[in-house]
Amino acid sequence: MKGLNTWSYRPYRPPLYEVGEVYICRIAPDKNCIRLEWLACGTEYFVYYRLRGECEFLLAGKTSECAYILSELSEETDYEFFVQSEAGKSRVRLARTGEALGTVVNYLHPDDEAYAFSGRYLCSPSLLAHPDGYLLASMDVFHGTSPQNLTLIYRSDDGGKTWHYLTELMPCFWGKLFLHRGEVYMLACSTEYGDLLIGKSCDGGATFGAPTVLLRGSNGKNGSCGVHKNPQNMLCFGGRLYGTLEWGAWANKDYCHAAMVMSCDESADLLAPESWSFTEPVPFSHFAPEVADVKIPAMTIEGSPVISPDGKLLNIMRFSKRGYALCYEVNTENCQAPLTYSHLMNFPANFSKFMIKYDSASGYYYSIVCRLYEGAPDSARNYQTLMRSRDLKVWEDAAVLYDFRDMRASEVGLQYVDFSFDGDDIIYLCRTAWNGAASFHDSNYSTFHRIKDFRNL
């Protein structure tokens, strides 16, 4: 085989791993049907299916298209299926029927080992609305004891109503798609706590050249500290582009994760490592009386960069103290100076990743969150609301989006939302654990949603 100078594949095929001659690239179950799509590999395709574990596969139908809908299926039932053409057959894939939440961008059954070389759950939703009118959605494939290094990318050309497979990146974990000066970029890690990578696509996300390493990390599997990040918005402020990250590991019992910010001049070459500056990592400490009761090591991860009403650049972080987010201030005069503690922000949604964005049309800050509620465990992610604030001090619910408080919090999760303003609407991508997920955390869906006329809710 030849050496490669790329980051993207259609698909990524690990040596000696059965990907299948026909590659099923997207699965989208619904109440009584399963839509499957594959990459072209022949002229005529035969689709076979069976109830999971039954002896014989049945011919569902044939098609010359690269998509098929298995219909008239039983609800909330597991099915196995594969596609065959003159070129060969696909892997046997697995899906569970059931009413979907929002629009399914992609689905992965927790027992489906198609991506076992990376993981078996869908994570890290990243959404990019391109000014040319299309949407990009990415998600990685994770499992706590697996390599966790594959990201799948999908595209919609009709505002999120339908989606199709675009490409996949390897290695790529915790990635965030973003647009800068008309170009599509991906900022990611090579794996959990791995190297910090950045790459660019010159064709709207269809292909990516080889990524640049910005920071060296670790392997992420033995407790060694490395780069930790999440799909957060990149923010332009004072002529510089800012992003948030952390240094550490959950297994580190001294400080767990230490907060950082990265930045570069807006006009610089983003693919040149020397363009970027990093603040020195700041482990959490008892900076002030209001945080003196927080046990060390504390959870300080997944910060959202936000410009405050008084013009300061803040890193607002997921935090261990229930009902509060931790706010650091960024020194915008010295791009390598460590963050300084600012204050605690009342925020009843601080135990899961959140993103905060300012809407200049309404004068509100918005966030789509896993709302904490009375009697809920800290881990609960079954109550999703749209929240807003005038001043980053007082937050209110603008709308309840999904309320599954009557279901077990251990089984349902709507989490890690990445969102954008789209005219009078908000669009968002969600890591969704639903209808037979391994747990609330180990999600089986990546789903797209639209909140219409959000300013008038």
What confidence category does residue 1 fall into, taking pLDDT thresholds of 50, 70 and 90? Answer: confident
Whole-number percent of the chain with pLDDT over 90: 97
pLDDT for 55? 86
- Domain map (residue ranges) of the chain: 8-96, 103-456
- Tell me the pLDDT tens digit for each residue of 400-422: 999 999 999 999 999 999 999 99
* CATH architecture, domain 103-456: 6 Propeller (2.120)
What residue type is assigned to position 3 of the chain?
G
| Rounded-to-10 torsion of CA 440, 156, 162, 10 | -80
8-96 classified as CATH 2.60.40.10:
yes
Q: What is the DSSP letter of 6?
A: B
For 322-367, the pLDDT digits (tens) are 999 999 999 999 999 999 999 999 999 999 999 999 999 999 999 9
Position 5 scores a pLDDT of 84
Do 83 and 61 touch, CB atoms closer than 8 A? no
DSSP conformation class of 91: P
Supply the DSSP symbol for 202: S
Please tell me the distance from the alpha carbon of residue 216 to that of residue 197, in angstroms, as a whole number.
9
**Region 127-150: what's the mean pLDDT?**
96
Asked if 129 contacts 427 with a C-beta cutoff of 8 angstroms, the reply is: yes
- Tell me the pLDDT band of 220, cut-offs 50, 70 and 90: low
| pLDDT value of residue 40 | 97
Residue 221 has pLDDT above 80, yes or no: no
Q: How sure is the predictor about 395, in pLDDT bands with cuts at 50, 70 and 90?
A: very high
pLDDT in tens, 154-164: 999 999 999 99
| Residue 386 pLDDT class (50, 70, 90 cuts) | very high
Taking the CB of residue 325, how many other CB atoms lie within 10 A of it? 26
Lowest model confidence (mean pLDDT) among 17-26, 126-135, 219-228, 442-451: 219-228
Query: What average pLDDT does the structure give for the chain?
Result: 97
**Rounded alpha-carbon distances, angstroms, from residue 334 to 245, 310, 331, 348:** 17, 19, 6, 32
pTM to 2 decimals? 0.97
Report CA 159 to chain centroid distance, whole Å: 19
229-278 pLDDT, tens digit per residue, is 999 999 999 999 999 999 999 999 999 999 999 999 999 999 999 999 99
The whole-number pLDDT of residue 219 equals: 73
Total length of the chain: 457
Percent of the chain with pLDDT over 70: 100
Strand order in the sheet with 103-107: 103-107, 445-451, 425-433, 413-422
The answer to whether residue 383 scores a pLDDT higher than 90 is yes
Own/partner contacts of 52-59, CB < 8 Å, gap of 24 or more, are: 52/77, 52/78, 52/79, 52/80, 52/94, 53/80, 57/81, 57/82
Spatial separation of the C-alpha atoms in residues 321 and 394, rounded to whole Å: 17
149-198 pLDDT per residue, tens? 999 999 999 999 999 999 999 999 999 999 999 999 999 999 999 999 99
